[in-house]
Amino acid sequence: MGEERDLVNQLLGQAQMADAFAKFSVTVTTSKLAFVKENKLYRALKGQKSRDGHDFLSGTWQEFCSLLGRSVEQVDEDIRNLRQFGEEALESMSRMGIGYRELRQWRRLPEDARSALIEAAKQGNKEAVEYLAEELIATHAKEKSALEKQVEDLQADNEALGERIARKSRELDDTAHELEKTRRRIQTMKADEAEKALRKEVAAAHYEAETVLAGTLRKAFAILVEHSEQTGSDHRPFQANLVRQLEMLLLRIREEFQLPEGEAVGDVSEFGWLQQMGNDQHAEPAEG
């Protein structure tokens, strides 16, 4: 503790003597202050009398900066600049007259941009440094704007997706409600009538799913094909994976309900109207 107190007192003595303080460069002084702050050496002043001899020091960082005649904000700013730019570059920037405002702006640049500024500053050419800084700031602003646009687009996509999910949820609720109404209705029917009504409901659900595949998915695939022809991109592996997922889904349904393999069984003639709708849906327009 005694050695730490001696070091702090020594630093204070150097700082309080104008002639001695002028001999230190800004960065060397800042590096010492950073060392004091990081190691909390200012606590060694606790219990010592203040300059006027009437009060005792409490050993805080703010108090230490005040004894140096500087504000905490200014010293902390110097330390941040030192950590971001390094002693050599910061000392060169100081000699070139680059102030806090510029340094604060440059600190917000990406690491690779700051590294370029540091190397330029070491050369001591102020015009080159300022020109490079303007270019880097402009580039960073464009990149930031593009990133913000991407974030906005993503938020819009998420909102649209949320709306679609909510709509689908409502549709599922409506479907479940209709199925429940059908279930209650068939409880009052004869067996053969109930069977026919149930099959009609299920066939309608099947047709709805088939319409999505034959319509929406087919159109989406057609867009991918068009894009492939224009750009040379190969979307087929992606498309094949989607189709495989659908195949796996159908396989799980077959296994869940223990459905037989092979050709369709049973009489489906009563659903001829459904077959005709499907034919109309898939029919190609006649050539004129």
Model confidence pLDDT, tens digit, residues 69-93 = 788 998 899 999 888 888 888 888 8
Residue 94 has pLDDT above 70, yes or no: yes
Q: What percent of the chain has pLDDT over 90?
A: 3
Residue 282 has pLDDT above 60, yes or no: no
- Comparing 161 with 42, which gets the higher pLDDT? 42
The mean pLDDT of 196-209, rounded to a whole number, is 79
The mean pLDDT of 39-63, rounded to a whole number, is 79
* pLDDT at res. 19: 43
The mean pLDDT of 248-259, rounded to a whole number, is 87
Q: What is the pTM assigned to this prediction? A: 0.40
- Comparing 67 with 40, which gets the higher pLDDT? 40
Min mean pLDDT across 37-46, 165-174, 268-277 is at 268-277
Residue 247 has pLDDT above 60, yes or no: yes
Residue 267 has pLDDT above 70, yes or no: no
Helix (H/G/I), strand (E/B), else coil: 74: helix
* pLDDT at res. 209: 80
Residue 100 has pLDDT above 80, yes or no: yes
* pLDDT at res. 76: 92
Residue 221 has pLDDT above 50, yes or no: yes
- Comparing 29 with 86, which gets the higher pLDDT? 86
Mean pLDDT, the chain, integer? 76
- Using pLDDT thresholds of 50, 70 and 90, give the confidence band for residue 39: very high
- Rounded to 5 degrees, φ, ψ at 287 are -80, 140
**Do 24 and 14 meet the contact criterion of CB atoms below 8 Å apart?**
yes
Residue 266 has pLDDT above 70, yes or no: no
Radius of gyration (C-alpha) of the chain in whole angstroms: 38
* pLDDT at res. 236: 92
